[in-house]
Amino acid sequence: MHALTCKDTPFLWDSTCQQAFESLKQCLIAAPVVAFPNFDSPFLMEMDASGIGLGAVLAQKQENWFCSSIGLCKSFSSEA
């Protein structure tokens, strides 16, 4: 599915994409979904921005999984 986000790549949803999507859905609903932050371990900050908005996720690796602690999304507008 990541290949669909590349520049100049035509959108083609095939069986490989569907299988990846089903796997992703299962990961999001299977335990453990929620984890408490461990302040004795380092955090990872991931950010992305464009001309119309930005997003950030504070994550932490716990038991071989990256757990999202906080997510932020902000849209920019020319209106005051």
pLDDT in tens, 15-37: 988 998 898 888 777 766 667 77
Report the alpha-carbon distance of residue 68 to residue 49 in Å, rounded: 18
The C-alpha R_g of the chain, in whole angstroms, comes to 16
- Mind listing the pLDDT tens digit for each residue in 47-80? 888 877 888 888 887 776 666 666 667 777 655 4
Tokens 């984890």 -> residue: 35
- Supply 56's token pair: 């950030």
Report the alpha-carbon distance of residue 58 to residue 38 in Å, rounded: 12
Report the alpha-carbon distance of residue 66 to residue 60 in Å, rounded: 5
SS3 percent helix, strand, coil of the chain, rounded to 5, is 25, 35, 40
DSSP 17: H
